[in-house]
Amino acid sequence: MAALVVYGNNATLVDEDIGALRSTVGAYMVGRLSSNTVHLIYSFSSYHHRAQQRLWFCLSTAALCIYIPLFIEDISFRSKIAVAAVGITIEEFIWLFSYSPVAKKLLNAKYTTAVDIPHEVDRFAAFYIIVLGEFLYQIIVGSPAVIGFNLALLRAIWTLVIAFCLNWLYIHGDGSLDCIHPLKHSVTTSFIWVTARLPMLASLLVAGHVSAHTTKSTEIHEPELWLLCGGLCIGLFCLYLIALLLNSQDPPRTLTLPKHFRLMFCPIVAIIIICLPLSHGLDLTSFLSIIMALFAFLVVWEHVTSLMRGAKFWERWENTAYPDEFAHSSSVSASGKKEVADSRIGV
């Protein structure tokens, strides 16, 4: 936790000062090593998973050496970004390998770790919400959209709508009434479901920062527009992939449209968004308005097509009695039927 404090205080200055960069990387390595050590200590008592945990400890600790070039001042900042990206990717694949059936077979392990599915789902959902906070934090703090109704306020509201739509798309999934979660389906779908989060969260974090920055600024440079649209595009493709991994168990013709037709506009909208920076005649407000409209259309489409077949715009409410009233009416009805039955047999 102390290493995280150091990391958080220096991470925002890594591109300005080599000391901040070294403090950030050093804090990350110390934090990562402490986490690895906890798994090593735990392996002495968890003898069933001892082999896999120690394999992960050794590989993950060795992978920290990848970050050593980040301490060297003569290396360009872009090269350091590439080194960090490679390090994070390798760490992800080390985790996948260490707890995969391949490692279990190589280690000749009899037992392997089980996944607490509700915990993993809640944990990833909480992290997703934190990333969406990047869209909302900057449109509130510092009151960037004062005074009254103005274009900055409109862009702030559009940013809010985009964040809401992203949250809805994540929760909605593929819209199935009954489905098998990827973590339950197979090892392949489990690993894809987990690894898809890294590019999705990273891209949405970048997109959220640029989108919220439009509230403070009247002009965004073209590279920032590409970051915004690229981040949203990758995020939508990852959401689409995660929705495809859900194994729908709904009988045919249960919902208005089949699964692939319900989800078909997600990649289409992503492609449209990534092409928007090519239109140089749009001002900032129009640019963000188009993105917001595309997200709103996508949410409405998936919501309507996920309704049960035969659903109506207005349906009559049924079974509206309170639970105690329903229980009372059921008991009265049952006693009445018993009296009728007793009278028929002459009791």
Contacts of 291 by beta carbon, 8 Å cutoff, 6+ apart: 158, 162, 228, 229, 232, 273, 276
- For residues 129 and 94, the answer to whether their CB atoms sit within 8 Å is no
Phi first, then psi, for residue 179 (nearest 5°) are -150, 160
**Pairwise CA distance, residues 65 & 67, whole Å:** 5
d(CA 24, CA 293): 39
Q: Against a cut of 0.85, is the pTM above it?
A: no
Closest residue by Cα to residue 152 from 165, 138, 162, 163: 138
| Per-residue pLDDT at 110 | 80
Cα angle at 261 between 292 and 300, to 5 degrees? 30
Kindly write down the DSSP assignment for every residue of 240-268, as one continuous string. HHHHHHSEE-PPTTSBSS-HHHHHTHHHH
Averaged pLDDT in 10-residue chunks for the chain of 347 residues: 90 88 93 91 83 90 93 90 92 88 84 80 90 86 75 88 94 89 86 90 91 81 89 95 91 88 94 90 88 95 89 78 65 52 52
Alpha-carbon Rg for the chain, nearest whole angstrom, is 27
- Structural tokens at position 309: 């077949």
Task: Give the whole-angstrom CA distance, residue 94 versus residue 91.
Answer: 5
Q: Which of 296, 55, 56 is nearest to 163 (CA)?
A: 296
How far, in Å, CA of 102 to CA of 188, rounded?
12
What pLDDT is recorded for position 151? 85
Q: What is the pLDDT of residue 185?
A: 80
Q: Are 113 and 49 in contact (CB under 8 A)?
A: yes
pLDDT at 340: 43
Rounded distance between C-alpha atoms, residue 315 and residue 313, angstroms = 7
Q: Residue 255 — φ and ψ, nearest 5°?
A: -100, 170
Contact 105, 67 (CB under 8 A): no
Give the position of tokens 């349906």: 315
Torsion region of 68: left, alpha or beta (phi above 0 gives left; psi -120 to 50 gives alpha): alpha
* Distance between start and end Cα atoms, the chain: 77
